Amino acid sequence: MIAVSNLTRNIIIEKYGINPDKVVTVHNAVEPLENRESLKREKSIEDKIVTFLGRVTLQKGPEYFVEAAHLVLQKMKNVRFVMAGSGDMLKHIIHRVSALRMGDRFHFTGFLKGEDVFTMYSLSDVYVMPSVSEPFGISPLEAMQSNVPVIISRQSGVSEILEHAIKIDFWDIHAMADAIYGILQYDGLSSMLRSNVKEEVDNLKWENAAMKVKEVYNAVL
Amino acid sequence: MRTICLYFQIHQPFRLKRYRFFNIGNDHYYYDDYMNESIMRKVADRSYLVANKVLRQIIKEYGTQFKVAFSISGIALDQFELYAPDVLESFQKLAKTGSVEFLAETYSHSLVALKDKNEFARQVDEHRQRIKHYFDMEPTVFRNTELVYSDTIGADVADMGFSAVLTEGAKHVLGWKSPNYMYCNALNPRLKVLLRNFRLSDDIAFRFSNQAWSEFPLTAEKFVTWLNKMDRKEETANIFIDYETFGEHQWLESGIFDFLKALPGAVFRNSKFTFATPSELVQHLQPISSISVPYPISWADEERDLTAWLGNDLQKDAFNRLYSLTEKVNRCTDLRIRKDWKYLQSSDHFYYMSTKFFSDGEIHAYFNPYESPYDAYINYMNVLSDFSIRLNALVPETNTDQEIVNLTKVIDEKQELIRKYEVELKRLRSSKAKITSVHTIKPSAKKAGKPAGGKKTLKRAKPGPVKKVTVKNVKKTSRVKKNK
């Protein structure tokens, strides 16, 4: 049995009672991006942009993103938050945003697809994935392909393989806010992350994952 | 005469607490007291106190034949005073035996030598005073933080009046040369350079309890045979290690204390080596040549360079941001600012931001309070932001303007004083004139005498209150200056 992360592997072992020897982890990879340059768009505003991109559902932890945004906005003004995606929690989130009186700084794009997704990444200064539970989570890797620093929850499979990412617990809105603030405010951090994320993500190739699957297959034969 | 020069390094930083950006501007206390105290207490009990006890026994047995040198950072001394006064006391006892020498370093265990000569000298001087205060000794030999050294740092150290400096016997600096001689600085030959024999030092510091090591287990006797194998002409074996090696890096159970206990006896029995402190080496040895170190070296990692502290963007940014405040801090007299300034400079803060951590984890993770270098950087920068806000409040941005305001205030006050004195002088003169006139017209003395006498007492009484007023004024001006 092949799991996409140790997180999933543990669930398989603990919740389904499968013999650990039978479960192997092979992490996901990401498709290299062609002609990325054409997707780049000039930013029309000077403010920094912090992005959440994904289904707006309980599992993705969008409400933690909203609370963290609220904290950040108390300390700095030249920043905007974007929630891209739709889902059953969207109404609830919009209510919360308006209740916190930060509608002028918090934007919703609705569901994005195709090139719009990459355009969104290229406009972002930080990408946040606060998932409550995520077997793997490929979206941070796509953000990293566009040279965007990422903040990911420890409760995601992808956090097992990334070094040049800031990892937080999804419920720890203070840590999340602090990380967002740090990346936006301290040049050393954003430049350090920017110079490393691309290289790190480019080393995650499907070929390597395929090789591992082949190894597993051969071992079973 | 061939010598062993034992030197132990002691330092513990004030680790920062988790400091979120919401704290900026609200919370001005940066340190994790609980962590600092518990680490200091743990190391004191497991390492410092036990090792000191062993050294006292050795000195009791061999007297001043046995010699050892220490360098204790000012911050470690501060922590001893706060959390482990018994350690301080035990070092003071050692200091009285006459077998122990204390070396000078920067108060903060900082990397300021790479940045600012004046601030460097100030910190070294502060540390020197500390050592004098606790141990009644004037250090004459210098060691820089983590043995960081270059030709120019050496020249600066010579300017401060030190006779010698300790550094790493780095391979890429020495080439075919041996670390077992005394060298001198390339720019100022009066400064002697003592080089660490990293093989012998690391045999004790890193490999001692490594069971995979071909020489395991290491005994004092075996160590002495290695010393004897040194070339006959070689003069000194410089063993420079962290004091935490005893009991902390190498546990009690590994037998490291027994090794230390047995070493002097084995040396005296089986070899012609003697023990010497760095300052004694300077007196007895002649430098064999100068050594050129154009780029800074240190004793860290395989590369023996600065990359553990200033290797990546995070570290460089934080380091430059910190030292951009130097000038402002120097104009600030606030005691808490001065103290935080010292504690924030510890090289450890930059060490925690090292991304070598990913590959070279083990040593870098030692007592590291952070989960990742990014974490360490964000936390440090938040603290630094708050620190500079406080600093800016005390030392206004447009400082020349402020200076002018201050000075004009002082001048105004002085002018006011001068005016007062002039009035006073006039009055005194006129009263004097009256007295003399009284004296010349003797016959009317009885009648005029009384008012004259009254004036006289006035004359004597006046200078008093006037002086008091001036004192008050001066005090006020200085207070005003401080507040600004």
How does pLDDT run across B224-250, given as a tens digit for each residue?
A: 999 999 998 999 999 999 999 999 989
Q: Could you tell me if B431 and B410 lie in one domain?
A: yes
Which one has a higher pLDDT value, B273 or B358? B273
Q: Could you tell me if B262 and B409 lie in one domain?
A: no
Which one has a higher pLDDT value, B294 or B409? B294
- Using CA atoms, how far apart are residues A183 and B382, in angstroms rounded to an integer? 11
Q: What is the pLDDT of residues B382-413, one digit of tens each?
A: 999 999 889 988 887 666 667 776 887 888 89
pLDDT higher than threshold 80 for residue B484: no
| Mean pLDDT score, B308-316 | 90
Q: What is the pLDDT of residues B18-38, one digit of tens each?
A: 998 888 888 999 999 999 999
Q: Could you tell me if B371 and B266 lie in one domain?
A: no
Which one has a higher pLDDT value, A205 or B445? A205
Q: Could you tell me if B101 and B210 lie in one domain?
A: yes
The predicted pLDDT at position B19 comes to: 92
- B26 vs A: CB within 8 A: no
The predicted pLDDT at position B480 comes to: 44
Q: What are phi and psi of B479, to 5 degrees?
A: -65, -40
Q: Could you tell me if B207 and B321 lie in one domain?
A: no
Contacts of B385 in chain A (CB under 8 A): 185
Q: Which of A71, A163, A185 sits opposite B22 (nearest CB)?
A: A71
pLDDT higher than threshold 90 for residue B301: no
Residue A135 lies in a domain: yes
- Using CA atoms, how far apart are residues B285 and B282, in angstroms rounded to an integer? 6
Quick check: A154 and A167 in contact, CB under 8 A? yes
pLDDT higher than threshold 80 for residue B176: yes
pLDDT higher than threshold 70 for residue A38: no
**Hey, is B402 helix, strand or coil?**
helix
- Using CA atoms, how far apart are residues A104 and A93, in angstroms rounded to an integer? 15
- Whether residue B378 and residue A182 make contact (CB cut-off 8 A), yes or no, is yes
Query: Among B101, B105, B119, B146, which one carries the catalytic annotation?
Result: B146
Query: How many domains are there within chain A?
Result: 1
Q: Which domain holds residue B434?
A: 401-483
Q: Which residue of B has its CA nearest to A73?
A: B22
- A21 vs B: CB within 8 A: no
Q: What is the pLDDT of residues A66-93, one digit of tens each?
A: 999 999 999 898 999 999 999 999 999 9
Q: What are phi and psi of B16, to 5 degrees?
A: -85, 150
The predicted pLDDT at position B412 comes to: 86
Say if pTM beats, i.e. exceeds, 0.95.
no
Q: Which domain holds residue A72?
A: 35-205
Q: Which residue of A has its CA nearest to B20?
A: A178
Q: What torsion, rounded to 10 degrees, do the Cα atoms B89, B91, B95, B96 define?
A: 40
Q: What is the CATH number of the domain that holds A189?
A: 3.40.50.2000
Residue A8 lies in a domain: no
Residue A181 lies in a domain: yes
B146 given a catalytic annotation: yes
- Whether residue A195 and residue B314 make contact (CB cut-off 8 A), yes or no, is no
Residue A105 lies in a domain: yes
